[in-house]
Amino acid sequence: MIGLSNVFIAGDLANAMDAQGNAYPQLAAVAKQAGQHCARNIKRMIEGQELEPFVYKDRGILAMVGRNAAITELGKAHHQLSGPVVFAAWLGIHAGLLPSVRARFEAVIEWAWVYFLGDHASQIIDRTGRLPENASAPANDAI
């Protein structure tokens, strides 16, 4: 935080700027790198070392936009790719970013279930026709 030497802000609140004064995009990748950089600077401050400015390393943008559909923008020239291969890459990259083997396994099972069966495996289906005591009937589907 400008003017305060012992206050650090990371993530969306930081509104970090590049060397030209342009704000970095409000993306998880920026927030993650900024958080790691913030931790390194706190360590540097504790050790009496000079703080380093944050510089975002753009690794590209990847977004899933539907079944078998994802788009990516890579490199300084912002090459755009889309299709099933990019969709598979999205799945692999996001599974790899999960914090544990169990989380990865559960995500892959869930994704496979949705992909092949079209429904979420984690939903609970109760077809008894009874509503819980304090629940209301579902709204009319015709809106």
Specify the pTM. Answer: 0.56
Q: Is the separation of the CB atoms in 51 and 41 below 8 Å?
A: yes
Determine the structural domain holding residue 109 and report its residue range: 60-124
Q: From residue 103, give the alpha-carbon distance in Å to each of 34, 47, 118, 124.
A: 24, 36, 21, 20
> Is residue 26 assigned to a domain?
yes
Sequential pLDDT tens for the chain (143 residues): 667 778 888 877 778 888 898 888 888 888 889 999 999 999 999 999 999 988 988 888 888 888 788 899 888 788 898 988 999 888 898 898 898 999 999 999 988 888 888 766 555 556 666 666 766 656 555 54
Terminal CA-CA length for the chain: 49
Question: Are 73 and 118 found together in one domain?
Answer: yes
How many CB atoms neighbour CB 89 within 10 A?
Answer: 14
> Is residue 87 assigned to a domain?
yes
User: What count of residues does the chain have?
Assistant: 143
Question: Are 68 and 102 found together in one domain?
Answer: yes
Give the count of domains, the chain. Answer: 2
DSSP structure class, residue 13: G
